[in-house]
Amino acid sequence: MSAPLIDPFQRAINYLRVSVTDRCDFRCVYCMSENMTFLPKKELLSLEELDRMCSTFVGLGVEKLRITGGEPLVRRDIMTFFGAMSRHLDSGALKELTLTTNGSQLERFAEQLHAAGVRRVNVSLDTLDEKKFADITRWGRLPQVLRGVDAAQKAGLRVKINAVALKGFNEDELISITEWCADRDIDLTWIEVMPMGDIGNEDRLGQYWKLSDLRTRLAEHYTLTELAERTGGPARYVRLEETGQKIGFITPLTHNFCESCNRVRLTCTGELYMCLGQEDMADLRAPLRNFPNDPAPLQEAIRSAIARKPKGHDFDYSRQSVDGRVTRHMSHTGG
Ligand code: SAM
Ligand code: SF4
């Protein structure tokens, strides 16, 4: 058994997020510009390469794999990859295989995901208003996503909704979204909008709705009990006593929880980002492609990348400007 991955700040890295495509069937205004240039297909890791890459990480102690994108379920034959990863669940090496999706393809894939061993899915949904949904996603259709959520629940997948808190956009839906989730026994996490990538004319500061404010408003309607639960990630949780549901807050801007970070992110081209909010990355595609039959160079490249994982990100809106911005889109690194 090889030594686990430990970074310079003594954080154990056991969580890999993998972007399997930079493409998407939506164009959410805070994530992408309307006219995106996507990577040529040959730049992408093939499904077989993704398998070898993820399996190497699992061999180095990664226990949780989250598949994301772009929209992971628009990648052709992606179920083959999920099916392949399920062998690591069967062996016990992997504790969780999961995904973050916009939900548009869930109706089609929910049962296959469950068959591959997926038990939980994060669905991104910022509004329950059809017109607003079409505006924010530009290309998305709400009923299709809601059918996807239903299909996921029916297939036995536990659903969590991730909603980006957007000023003047979903502030008025705070209670209705909470109730909708409570009625369906769905968990809900709110995310602060992060300064990632050029998104055309959209205004980052104008979009920013502080979660401290959201939480205060929630507390006007419900009794909030702080939960000690930590997932090693940036989310903090409360329970609403009236409904019993769990609400998460991901607050990269108002609080930064980098000290407990246990994750790294792989792009669809095989770049490893050690921090979502920093530019440094390691090219893992070269050792993967150059040594198809020898895992040692890839393992070495992974270890030396983890050895330079930074302490944290530098996102900051506090000076009334967007500081610490990174040029990559969230869809590139995988949210
Ligand atoms: N397409 C999938 C989806 O939407 O769930 C997976 C990829 S998407 C990049 C992952 C998450 O990142 C989504 O929940 C999305 O809302 C979030 N996201 C995208 N851009 C963001 C930004 N600038 N700030 C905060 N969250 C963002
Ligand atoms: Fe696509 Fe997800 Fe980005 Fe929306 S947030 S454009 S669904 S990748």
Please give the distance, rounded to the nearest whole angstrom, from the Cα atom of residue 179 to the centre of ligand 1: 22
Most confident of 136-150, 197-211, 232-246, 318-332: 136-150
Q: Which amino acid is at 253?
A: L
Share of the chain above pLDDT 70, in %: 86
pLDDT of residue 100: 97
Atom of ligand 1 nearest to the CA of 197: 23
Q: What is the pLDDT of residues 109-152, one digit of tens each?
A: 999 999 999 999 999 999 999 999 999 999 999 999 999 999 99
The confidence band for 266, taking pLDDT boundaries of 50, 70 and 90, is very high
**Hey, whose CA ends up nearest to atom 17 of ligand 1?**
335
Q: Does residue 214 have a pLDDT over 90?
A: yes
Check: CB of residue 151 under 8 Å from CB of residue 106: yes
Q: Which amino acid is at 54?
A: C
Share of the chain above pLDDT 90, in %: 74
Q: Which amino acid is at 155?
A: A
323 - beta bridge partners? 316
**Ligand 2 probe mutation, 20, 23, 24, 250, most atoms within 8 A of CB:** 24
Mean residue pLDDT across the chain: 90
Question: What ligand is nearest to the CA atom of residue 98?
Answer: 1
Question: What ligand is nearest to the CA atom of residue 28?
Answer: 2
Atom of ligand 2 nearest to the CA of 71: 8
Atom of ligand 2 nearest to the CA of 140: 7
Stretch 190-214: mean pLDDT, rounded?
75
The confidence band for 280, taking pLDDT boundaries of 50, 70 and 90, is confident
Q: Compute the distance between CA of residue 329 and CA of residue 195 in angstroms, rounded to an integer.
A: 9
Please give the distance, rounded to the nearest whole angstrom, from the Cα atom of residue 35 to the centre of ligand 2: 13
In this structure, are strands 246-250 and 235-240 parallel, antiparallel, or unpaired?
Answer: antiparallel
Atom of ligand 2 nearest to the CA of 24: 1
Stretch 33-57: mean pLDDT, rounded?
94
193 - beta bridge partners? none
Show the ligand 1 pocket: residues with CB < 6 angstroms.
Answer: 24, 30-31, 68-71, 100-102, 124, 162, 164, 191, 193-194, 196, 330-331, 335
pLDDT of residue 297: 98
Atom of ligand 2 nearest to the CA of 31: 3
* Sequence-distant (≥ 6) Cβ neighbours of residue 209 within 8 angstroms: 165, 166, 167, 168, 171, 192, 193
Q: Does residue 79 have a pLDDT over 60?
A: yes
Stretch 57-69: mean pLDDT, rounded?
97
Please give the distance, rounded to the nearest whole angstrom, from the Cα atom of residue 73 to the centre of ligand 1: 14
pTM exceeds 0.85: yes
Of the two residues 193 and 320, the one the predictor is more confident about is 193
Q: Compute the distance between CA of residue 287 and CA of residue 182 in angstroms, rounded to an integer.
A: 47
Q: Rounded to a whole number, what is the largest CA-CA distance in the chain?
A: 60
> 209, 226, 137, 145: which is closest to 173 by C-alpha?
209
Tokens at 91, concatenated:
């062996």
Q: Does residue 240 have a pLDDT over 60?
A: yes
pLDDT of residue 324: 53
Please give the distance, rounded to the nearest whole angstrom, from the Cα atom of residue 34 to the centre of ligand 1: 15
Residue with tokens 């050792």: 287
pLDDT of residue 333: 60
**Hey, whose CA ends up nearest to atom 14 of ligand 1?**
124
Phi-psi region of 212 (alpha: psi -120 to 50; beta: other; left: phi over 0): alpha
**Ligand 2 probe mutation, 23, 27, 66, most atoms within 8 A of CB:** 27
Three-state secondary structure of 104-145: CCHHHHHHHHHHCCCCEEEEECCCCCHHHHHHHHCCCCHHHH
Question: What ligand is nearest to the CA atom of residue 334?
Answer: 1
Q: Does residue 316 have a pLDDT over 80?
A: no
Other beta carbons within 10 Å of 327: 10
Q: Compute the distance between CA of residue 289 and CA of residue 284 in angstroms, rounded to an integer.
A: 9
Atom of ligand 2 nearest to the CA of 100: 2
